[in-house]
Structure 1
Amino acid sequence: MGFETPEPVLRDLVTNAGTGKIQLPDFQRSYRWDDDRIRELLVTVVRGHPMGVLMLLVTGSDHVHFQPRPLERVASDAVEDKRDLAEPEELLLDGQQRMTSLYQALTGSGVVETIDVRKKHIARRYFLDVALALGSPADQDAAVRSLPADGILRTNFDRDVELDVSSTEKQVAAGLMPFTSIFNGEYTDWLWDYGDLHPDNRSRGREINALMSAMLAYKIPAIRLDKETTKEAVATVFNKVNQGGLRLDNFELLTAIFAGDRSYFDTHGEDFRLRDDWALTKKILEAHPVLSEIKETDFLQMVLLLASLDRQRADLSDPSRRDRPRPVTGRGDDVLDMTLEEYLRWAPQVRGALPWTAHFYTSSHIHTKQFLPYRTQSVPLTVFRVLLGEEADLHSVKERLRRWYWCGVLGELYGSTTETRFARDTEQVPGWAHAAKTGAEAATPRTVQDARFSESRLWSLQSRNSAAYKGIYALMLAQGPHDWRHDLLLDNAAYFDLQVDIHHIFPKKYCEENNLDRERWNSVVNKTPLAKKTNIWLGGRSPEIYTARLERDQKFAPGQLDDLFRTHLVDPVALRAADFDAFFTARQEALVAIVEKAMGKPVFRDLAAGEPTELPASYDPDEADDFDTDDDVPELPDEWHDLSDIASGEERIALAQLARSGAPRPAVGFEADGIPVGIGWPDRQIATDVGLLPEYREELTGEGWKIFPLGDDLETALRRR
């Protein structure tokens, strides 16, 4: 392998990229740079500061057959210009993000499709403030302007125009030259017009021309690999050089390594394209939403665990290697040592096991990715299915898999440093689970041994930030809870139809108004799965009130409502009496029981006199319920006036008029018979100038609420209602 170290001129590089003489090997990632990076890159060129080295590979070799593709926007530019692209003479191995940014910003339309700091997709053009470009380094930094693609900078929600450089005349007037004018040769005419309009700067014409010439002559150092470079060498070099900027992950590096596999090319006549293979996996993941956050690197770890286990088994059966077997590994960097042959053997089996993993979750009452305790635990779980095959569905085998799973979740063992646990579980769990079928002796896996759950942990589980919180929520759903208003089982179908989520049993507002202990009322002990509309209906009322109203409004038979409460592991007597202490003690004990059953081991009883012996140091009561979905309920604040005890319609209307004077958008509640029972205002703006926000319309109007915008005659509306 030979190489050269030329310093090609930037203008030539972008020209060759535009004609197709410089292209990318197809295994390269797509373009990802953001607006700030692009602007900083152009500042580097303006200042004449050095840029990082590019790496190019000369094409036409008998050794290398990488599929080429042009830089992004090159193909569409060629179509627009009605020209064909040339065959590539060089492939860009390192420097793709920089070269794509420079090509798009300096040529053609100059429009770059990029993202801002909020990851929002935007289209930008880049301009040079000529006066500032001649100033200090700080001035030169400010000289590069990123503006919307149409050249118009708008403010005040696009109502006002702050800057308009949408035409050459306006650009000259503002002193902002498009970078495209510099590199397409139009800058000379532009500068003449600029000098006529800004005579004070005419004397600096020589400086301006020198700056333009310096940018046009800007050189970028490069390493050019010759035709004798092998694919294996390219893959190795690619791995080594792609360490800066947007660092490649192991999936992207393995993409390059597999694309360089000579034996695959000799057999199939084309490179292996890992991205195409991943697309097959992605389709399966998208069909199972609970798995939708599994990443490419997770998938590779699954394959690696199986490949390395297979290597170890081969070593153990080989007398010459039996004493030094290779380890089972799930380490990310070890993925790069996996061969394409190993990948092709195990990847299809992993892909085929993913639907089973999804069903394992849904049958465990984990229905969405938001309530999946650990994404990482999907890695060994899917591996187990490959190793056990259909026997993973035998009752005795699956029960042990479930025990391992809940030990990992409730013991909170898959939050960090998971790679070692991946390997250990791959070696230990399948054999232990299978032994449940055969009756053979098998050591209990380390994860099951290590798992520990303390009773006091129930107090500190405050939000879905915790895997154990999500796990207990799933175990609650596994008890067969029924909706409190409609007596519907909250199974998989109802979960989505009724928009079930986890909510307070003693409502947040009630608890705060009655000065209950936040550590207890905001814990998972005081939460349960509820349908969205049921939770809204409960509002912030005392359980003593809402239980009576549930029974009255829903016409439940005697004892029927109490039975519904019991499906949620709630003591109906304590709930009806709004006895929080009695309720909490009983439900805490019920949750301990289901945790013990799931883990197959006792919970550590560390509570004394009803208080936890120790709360985690990280517990912050002010932030613990950041994700609490009760915050989304449009409750009525203190200004709410209960009209249910006022017999006279005239009195109700008078109160309505009084209340109306205090806010622009009162909400009025009606019973089923149309009688108004309350008036007030939600604690956030839920109505706009054109009506009720969509996310609240159904809940309020569907539950007997009507919103009256400013200007409506509330008295007339109440009479009409």
Structure 2
Amino acid sequence: MSFRTAEPALKDVLDGIASGQIQLPDFQRGWVWDDNHIRSLISSLTLSYPIGAVMFLEAGGVPFKPRLFAGVSLQPAPAPKTLVLDGQQRLTSLYLALRSGQPVPTRTEKGADIRRVYFLDMAKCLDESADREEAVLSIPETLQISSDFGRKIELDVSTPELQYSQRLFPVALLFDIQRFMAWESGFSAHYQFAAEAMQFMQRFRHEIWQRFHEFKVPVIELSKNTPREAVCQIFEKVNTGGVTLTVFELMTATFAADEFNLRQDWEARRKRLTAKHDVLKAVDGTSFLTAVTLLASYRRHKEQGTPVSCKRADVLKLTLAEFKSLESALEQGFKRAAELLAEEKIFDARSLPYATQLIPLSTICAYLGERTTQHGVKQKLLRWYWCGVLGELYGGANETRFAMDIQDVVAWVDGGGEPRTVRDANFAPTRLLSLQSRLAAAYKGLAALLMKHGARDFVSGTPIDLNTYFNNAIDIHHVFPRAWCEKQKLPKEKWNSVVNKAPLAAGTNRFISGDAPSVYLARIQKAKQVAPDSLDEFLASHVIPVQALRSDDFDSFIRQRAAALLKLIEQAMGKAIAGRDSEETIKAFGAELSS
């Protein structure tokens, strides 16, 4: 990668923007600067203050689709010589205000859309004691400032004569030499060529107008040989707006160079994916591209023995041809994954333990195809999945694990040894007490395991399926109510843990209220006509120790339910949990958690 530095005149840069020789890569966000930013920028130029360097990329290398700057209209747009990586907001503001010849479409500090024309208060510009920002006037496109709902005109610059008399100069004339000279002549004539006015205009020309023409823009220009990933990293490091550039945005610009609209393709695909599978709302465009890259890399690995990788740099190397050859398979893979998760009672994005784990799961499903419906294959997939969730192995940067898992799981399905994710996964009994909210993947995983176990609503006795989950607003609620626990001064680490939680309908939770279990269970039996034996069955479906709950024995309830939850975890992970009788466990729960 090489670069050069230069200091072109601001006028030449703005001319390049106007001619289309300087454009933006399509991944750049839209122009967003407000009116105050623009006024401040113009005031800096009147003082020859630096406005910061800009970064260009020589066109002709990485095939980013270019687009013209805001305010530039050329049909057809020419091929650019230069793309702007950093400096878009400043250069767009200056082009619109100084060069476009049109009112500037900007916004107020509060975000209201406005159109403005900028003027310089010539006297204030020449007064060293004056606040220079106050010398830059922002005036509506009507060229009038009014009050009292438009009935009173406070300032009118709608004609050159009014501009001359108030000594307000339109900045749009700064780089238009013919119009500037005409305005200058008109100014002198307006004052009948009086010596004071002539000297005033001459000072303005030398001290202000000339500064704009002599202003240089520091430029760093990257060569066209700069790799796409380097362009991405540089953009993120130097972009003054602190904008993070996503892989999806970069690839959208790259594919657009081949006349393929990735954003439009993804929006249509997202609608198809989420039409029947709410859980797939957790998938974004970057995740889908990562999955396509993972599948492409794995296929190359199988054919050529190359390493499997789907890191950011790998996604950026994905070709449009590769994308088109695999996108349908991946779409089906995500749908198969969603169907598999629905069988595990994971119905929506909110209850999904790890959105990231959807990437390898869907890619594996895409590769295996119809084989995922075979019982033996499905059991291995589910065991790997639950080991990832309950072992909490997908919480950090995961691209390396994605690559490892697709190789390991497919090999396991084909008769190989257990995947490393299965071997590495473990669950400590005391972790149950620190699972306090949906922020933890294992917390959501346990709720799903309870529903899969056959958890039935306390009041209706209805098992939880796709329809009841959404229709009855199933959520995770306290079994010993929070209000009662706080009144009894019980330890929050226990009563707010997953051990004291169960998936219940919103209406049932309201019916439980804040009473002791013995009270609300009696109320359910009487008010809802539920037989005690039936209610006991409903409770047992949540692996709740019935007698401990009915007698309000909180400590026994916590110990017995923790042991029962560990059994569910063991079944899902396909391995025994160590530490049930450890000192740490006994200290936390007051006794061993015997199986």
Name the residue aligned to 2:49: 48
Match of 2:68 among 67, 70, 75: 70
| Structure 1 residues 504 and 308: CA distance shift in structure 2, 3 A | same
Tell me how far 1:216 sits from its aligned partner.
6.6
Contact 1:110–1:179 (8 Å) recurs in 2? no
Name the residue aligned to 1:309: 298
How does the TM-score come out when normalised to structure 2? Answer: 0.76
- Tell me if 1:110 matches 2:110: no
Name the residue aligned to 2:308: 328
Contact 1:429–1:445 (8 Å) recurs in 2? yes
Aligned AA for 1:496?
Answer: F
Determine helix, strand or coil for the equivalent of 2:52: coil
- Structure 2 distance, partners of 1:137, 1:32, is 33
Q: Tell me the alpha carbon deviations over residues 26-48 of structure 1, each in whole angstroms, 9 at most, x when there is no partner.
A: x4344165659956766764663
Name the residue aligned to 1:355: 335
- Structure 2 distance, partners of 1:144, 1:359, is 62
- Tell me if 1:550 matches 2:547: no
Contact 1:255–1:273 (8 Å) recurs in 2? yes
- Structure 2 distance, partners of 1:550, 1:314, is 63
Decide which moves more: 247-256 or 397-406. Answer: 247-256
Q: Tell me the alpha carbon deviations over residues 187-230 of structure 1, each in whole angstroms, 9 at most, x when there is no partner.
A: x89xx9xxxxxxxxx999988774465357644345789xxx98
Name the residue aligned to 1:500: 474
Determine helix, strand or coil for the equivalent of 1:111: strand
- Structure 1 distance, partners of 2:552, 2:331, is 51
Contact 1:506–1:543 (8 Å) recurs in 2? yes
In structure 2, the gaps of 5 or more residues are 188-196, 590-595
Decide which moves more: 553-562 or 101-110. Answer: 101-110
| Structure 1 residues 8 and 458: CA distance shift in structure 2, 3 A | same
Name the residue aligned to 1:455: 429
| Structure 1 residues 37 and 378: CA distance shift in structure 2, 3 A | farther
RMSD: 4.9
Determine helix, strand or coil for the equivalent of 1:71: coil
Name the residue aligned to 2:355: 375
Q: Tell me the alpha carbon deviations over residues 257-293 of structure 1, each in whole angstroms, 9 at most, x when there is no partner.
A: 5556xxxxxxxxx544444444444334443332223
Aligned AA for 2:53?
Answer: G
- Structure 2 distance, partners of 1:377, 1:213, is 61
- Structure 1 distance, partners of 2:314, 2:120, is 49
Match of 1:469 among 422, 443, 453: 443
- Structure 2 distance, partners of 1:388, 1:258, is 28
- Structure 2 distance, partners of 1:138, 1:387, is 70
- Structure 2 distance, partners of 1:285, 1:148, is 47
Contact 1:278–1:296 (8 Å) recurs in 2? yes
Name the residue aligned to 2:508: 534
Tell me how far 1:88 sits from its aligned partner.
3.0
Name the residue aligned to 2:365: 385
Q: Tell me the alpha carbon deviations over residues 655-682 of structure 1, each in whole angstroms, 9 at most, x when there is no partner.
A: xxxxxxxxxxxxxxxxxxxxxxxxxxxx
In structure 1, the gaps of 5 or more residues are 76-83, 152-160, 193-201, 261-269, 316-324, 436-441, 616-721
How does the TM-score come out when normalised to structure 1? Answer: 0.64
Tell me how far 1:309 sits from its aligned partner.
2.1
- Structure 1 distance, partners of 2:360, 2:430, is 29
Q: Tell me the alpha carbon deviations over residues 404-461 of structure 1, each in whole angstroms, 9 at most, x when there is no partner.
A: 00100110111113122111111110121343xxxxxx21100000000011100010
Tell me how far 1:363 sits from its aligned partner.
2.2
- Structure 1 distance, partners of 2:126, 2:342, is 64
Q: Tell me the alpha carbon deviations over residues 607-652 of structure 1, each in whole angstroms, 9 at most, x when there is no partner.
A: 558956579xxxxxxxxxxxxxxxxxxxxxxxxxxxxxxxxxxxxx
Determine helix, strand or coil for the equivalent of 1:602: coil
Name the residue aligned to 2:592: none
- Structure 1 distance, partners of 2:170, 2:15, is 17
- Structure 1 distance, partners of 2:500, 2:41, is 54
Tell me how far 1:605 sits from its aligned partner.
2.4
Match of 1:94 among 84, 98, 101: 84
Q: Tell me the alpha carbon deviations over residues 570-601 of structure 1, each in whole angstroms, 9 at most, x when there is no partner.
A: 22322222221122122111211111111011
- Structure 1 distance, partners of 2:491, 2:532, is 33
| Structure 1 residues 139 and 429: CA distance shift in structure 2, 3 A | farther
Contact 1:373–1:471 (8 Å) recurs in 2? yes
| Structure 1 residues 276 and 539: CA distance shift in structure 2, 3 A | same
Aligned AA for 1:297?
Answer: T
Structure 1 vs Structure 2: percent identity of aligned residues? 36
Tell me how far 1:357 sits from its aligned partner.
1.9
- Tell me if 1:293 matches 2:290: no
| Structure 1 residues 544 and 333: CA distance shift in structure 2, 3 A | same
Contact 1:94–1:241 (8 Å) recurs in 2? no
Name the residue aligned to 2:418: 444
Aligned length: 551
Aligned AA for 2:546?
Answer: P
- Structure 2 distance, partners of 1:360, 1:205, is 78
| Structure 1 residues 223 and 518: CA distance shift in structure 2, 3 A | closer
Aligned AA for 1:295?
Answer: D
Matches within 5 A, 1:503-518: 503-518=477-492
Aligned AA for 2:377?
Answer: V
Tell me how far 1:313 sits from its aligned partner.
2.4
Aligned AA for 1:423?
Answer: A
Match of 1:582 among 556, 560, 585: 556
Tell me how far 1:524 sits from its aligned partner.
0.6
- Tell me if 1:31 matches 2:24: no
Determine helix, strand or coil for the equivalent of 1:55: strand
Tell me how far 1:56 sits from its aligned partner.
6.8
Tell me how far 1:375 sits from its aligned partner.
1.3
- Tell me if 1:427 matches 2:407: yes
Decide which moves more: 275-284 or 446-455. Answer: 275-284
Determine helix, strand or coil for the equivalent of 1:502: strand
- Structure 1 distance, partners of 2:389, 2:451, is 16
Aligned AA for 2:345?
Answer: H
Name the residue aligned to 2:322: 342
Contact 1:397–1:434 (8 Å) recurs in 2? no
Tell me how far 1:557 sits from its aligned partner.
2.8
- Structure 1 distance, partners of 2:51, 2:271, is 44
Tell me how far 1:530 sits from its aligned partner.
1.7
Q: Does 1 or 2 have the higher relative contact order (CA < 8 Å, sep 6+)?
A: 2
Tell me how far 1:516 sits from its aligned partner.
0.3
Tell me how far 1:149 sits from its aligned partner.
11
Decide which moves more: 404-413 or 208-217. Answer: 208-217
Determine helix, strand or coil for the equivalent of 2:417: coil
Decide which moves more: 384-393 or 343-352. Answer: 343-352
Name the residue aligned to 1:597: 571
- Structure 2 distance, partners of 1:557, 1:455, is 34
| Structure 1 residues 206 and 583: CA distance shift in structure 2, 3 A | farther
Contact 2:33–2:93 (8 Å) recurs in 1? no
- Structure 1 distance, partners of 2:442, 2:130, is 51
Contact 1:104–1:112 (8 Å) recurs in 2? no
Q: Tell me the alpha carbon deviations over residues 281-329 of structure 1, each in whole angstroms, 9 at most, x when there is no partner.
A: 43344433322232333222222222222222233xxxxxxxxx42111
| Structure 1 residues 236 and 512: CA distance shift in structure 2, 3 A | closer
